[in-house]
């Protein structure tokens, strides 16, 4: 199987895509990532909005209509879900391999 040129994802990108399985705005994404990672991953505002711009350009996320004009809401696209699934499978394979060893 040919490897996707976008893999592996950065940890930050992986968490953002997971957080966007449900529509959300930037600050809420930052909070969700911190919660999901049990405080191990904290995304600064500049990093968050840079990542959002990149994900929009890749068509992995899309802005969706919002009733709150102060906040832009984003959601993962089918392309983004596909990339997330590929990365999740890659991580699972690594975990399975690592479980064979004692260290």
Cβ–Cβ under 8 Å, residues 60 and 76: yes
CA-to-CA dists, residue 6 to 1, 43, 66, 78, 80, angstroms: 15, 21, 30, 15, 11
Distance CA 13, CA 52 (A): 9
Distance CA 42, CA 1 (A): 34
pLDDT digits (tens, 9 = 90+) for 33-62: 999 999 999 999 999 999 999 999 999 999
Please enumerate in sequence order all residues whose Cβ is within 8 A of that of 70, keeping only pairs 6 or more positions apart, or say none: none
Q: Write down the pTM of the prediction.
A: 0.92
Question: Taking the domains of the chain in order of start, what are their residue ranges?
Answer: 9-97
DSSP type of residue 34: H
Q: Considering the chain, what is the average pLDDT of its residues?
A: 95
Residue range 9-97, CATH number: 1.10.10.10
Please enumerate in sequence order all residues whose Cβ is within 8 A of that of 101, keeping only pairs 6 or more positions apart, or say none: none
Q: Quick one: average pLDDT of 73-81?
A: 98
């Amino acid at each position: 199987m040919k490897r996707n040129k976008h893999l592996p994802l950065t940890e930050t990108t992986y968490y953002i895509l997971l957080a966007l399985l449900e529509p959300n705005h930037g600050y809420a994404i930052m909070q969700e990532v911190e919660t999901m990672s049990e405080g191990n991953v904290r995304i600064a505002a500049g990093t968050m909005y840079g990542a959002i711009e990149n994900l929009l350009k890749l068509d992995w996320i899309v802005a969706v209509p919002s009733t709150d004009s102060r906040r832009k809401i984003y959601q993962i696209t089918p392309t983004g879900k596909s990339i997330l699934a590929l990365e999740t499978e890659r991580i699972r394979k690594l975990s399975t391999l690592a479980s064979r060893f004692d260290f």
